[in-house]
A and B are shown apart, each in its own frame.
Chain A
């Protein structure tokens, strides 16, 4: 809830600064919440991979990292959009994003997937989306937290960077699931272990608040879902490139990161 409130304040500030009529119509809509997506920590492995002109990203997550088949499925979901956006931002780099999504997997379940993926694919970066299933099942927050820690240990051993992604903002079910302890756990672990956190909850809350997307509407249509995922992909790609730049400062070699905001504005 704290995150939500912080997001709401940030969103108000952002509205004051950027709100223009018809904003929702163009790509700039994603940008509204970009102040919530800041690279506070470096991604050294990602920076090194970009310097070598090849970047392997694995996305590990639950059902909210994909879309139902009827809604376009994986090709329209944010992992695919992330790949497209990274390619635009990093010309000349061979970018590959693979998604490993399983419905109803808790963080502890995902650690097993994570270890397997690290072994098989040797990714430079893992985007780890989790928290929703744990909150819905009411997994002990302590166990959730230690699962996150275990996953990060695996990442370190596998020499890969990590980015956490938290829950979706879902206004309709907001009062039905107590997300608070899980949000806090992810933020604490992220700060403590210096891992980037993509605050999907805060970003989507800001979008809803500013009417960029109406997230409480009941609809069978897929356009909003598609655009939300597209925007998540773009913002996530910005976060990754920014994190790599920070990592780059500590590495040597050249990268193709001349156009930091190319894909957003």
Chain B
């Protein structure tokens, strides 16, 4: 929860969003040993929480200012334009996914996997599949984040309006929706069965919390978040979460966890953003706030540049990450899946993400110069970060 000041760019947001995008990429490559380093293996929450929180924060920061300067209508229109861009990006990724599936369907045959090949059955009715994908109901593996983001951002205009008037009421409304989703089991329907993997009605809490922090909430809770007891509480909780996570890999250690605790704790629901996950994210944020101040010197260092640039172009880099994860898995299956190959595809993937981000930065600068006086909107977008 970086403290909000109405002007200037908080590079910590870019840094941590960039890192979150790298972690999401690593986690999306199946059977990748390198993903051992990602935070989901050391606690309850993972990179998704960081991504959603920071997205809420920057969205409120950018469009909140827009709402002040140009009014509710223009700001809302800009938000919806962004929603459209993300939707198009999602459909593009879906096409890539379909190409991969179609390739596997026509080239892979093995009597051992007659059941798993059933996943390819939907190729037999592309009409239904395509329409369901466009309705965001059919979402292949690892393609759940953008639809979540689309719904969260589409719901932002009225929420932002409320946040700017009575932030406390807005946060309360968001919490009430979260609670209602839990109590009544609300979620959006998916195809062919089930519901959304990331329930937007639950995850909106983290997004709105991010937005609330950006619009002055962070300053209001700063004394509390920086206090000593809260710090130690956060440390204690992170240690507890780490110990519990350890039992997932060492089931024998699991027998030391008391039964009442497991009964109460499990399952730790990712779909509905379990309170334990939310608390874990907040605990991480409290520690980050303490050790990474806004003017943290390394933020200016060239070593941090790659992650920061990635965080500044989150949509493009997220999409690149999903695409690169497909490609990495493909390379592992076709060529080799040894540890060396896993390290290679992970490194090359992240390097590619950085290169793409730098290219976009370069292009935006060139465009900005060419348009001369019209550069303000483009730069405002960049300075505020992409929402």
Instruction: Determine if chain A interacts with chain B.
Output: yes
Interface residues of A (CB under 8 A from B): 1-2, 4-6, 8-9, 12, 40, 62-64, 67-68, 70-71, 103-104, 132-133, 136-141, 143, 145, 168, 170-178, 181, 184-185, 187-188, 191-192, 205, 208-209, 215-220, 222, 224-225, 228
**Interfacial residues of chain B within 120-143, with CB under 8 A of chain A in the complex:** 140-142
A188 touches B266 (CB 8 A): yes
With CB as the reference atom, state the residue of chain B lying closest to A106: B193
Q: Mark B60-94, 1 if CB is under 8 A from A, else 0.
A: 00000000000000000000000000000000000
B194 touches A140 (CB 8 A): yes
Q: Mark B245-258, 1 if CB is under 8 A from A, else 0.
A: 00011011011000
A141 touches B115 (CB 8 A): no
Decide if the interface of chain B is mainly helix, strand, loop or mixed.
helix
Asked if B173 is an interface residue, CB under 8 A from chain A, the answer is no
Asked if B262 is an interface residue, CB under 8 A from chain A, the answer is yes
Measured between beta carbons, the chain A residues less than 8 angstroms from B100 are 175-176
With CB as the reference atom, state the residue of chain B lying closest to A215: B112
> How distant is the Cα of A137 from the Cα of B111 in the complex, in angstroms?
21
Measured between beta carbons, the chain B residues less than 8 angstroms from A216 are 333, 337
> How distant is the Cα of A5 from the Cα of B141 in the complex, in angstroms?
18
Task: Give the number of A-B contacts (CB < 8 Å).
Answer: 151
Known: A138-B190, A174-B329. A224 touches B112 (CB 8 A): yes
Measured between beta carbons, the chain A residues less than 8 angstroms from B262 are 191-192
A139 touches B194 (CB 8 A): yes
Contact of A63 among B109, B114, B270 (CB under 8 A): B114
Measured between beta carbons, the chain B residues less than 8 angstroms from A217 are 110
Contact of A178 among B197, B248, B252 (CB under 8 A): B197
Measured between beta carbons, the chain B residues less than 8 angstroms from A170 are 113, 116
Contact of A173 among B104, B111, B271, B337 (CB under 8 A): B104
> In which size bucket is the chain B interface?
35 or more
List the 4 shortest-distance A-B pairs measured between CB atoms, nearest first: A71-B111, A63-B115, A174-B30, A178-B141
Contact of B249 among A6, A145, A184 (CB under 8 A): A6
Asked if B145 is an interface residue, CB under 8 A from chain A, the answer is no
A68 touches B114 (CB 8 A): yes
How far is the CB of B243 from the nearest CB of chain A, in Å? 15
With CB as the reference atom, state the residue of chain A lying closest to B328: A175
Besides A4-B31, A175-B326, A188-B266, 10 other CB < 8 A contacts?
A5-B33, A40-B255, A136-B116, A171-B332, A172-B104, A173-B104, A187-B251, A215-B110, A219-B110, A220-B109
How far is the CB of A200 from the nearest CB of chain B, in Å? 12
Measured between beta carbons, the chain B residues less than 8 angstroms from A218 are 107-110
A137 touches B192 (CB 8 A): yes
How far is the CB of B186 from the nearest CB of chain A, in Å? 13
A177 touches B267 (CB 8 A): no
With CB as the reference atom, state the residue of chain A lying closest to B140: A176
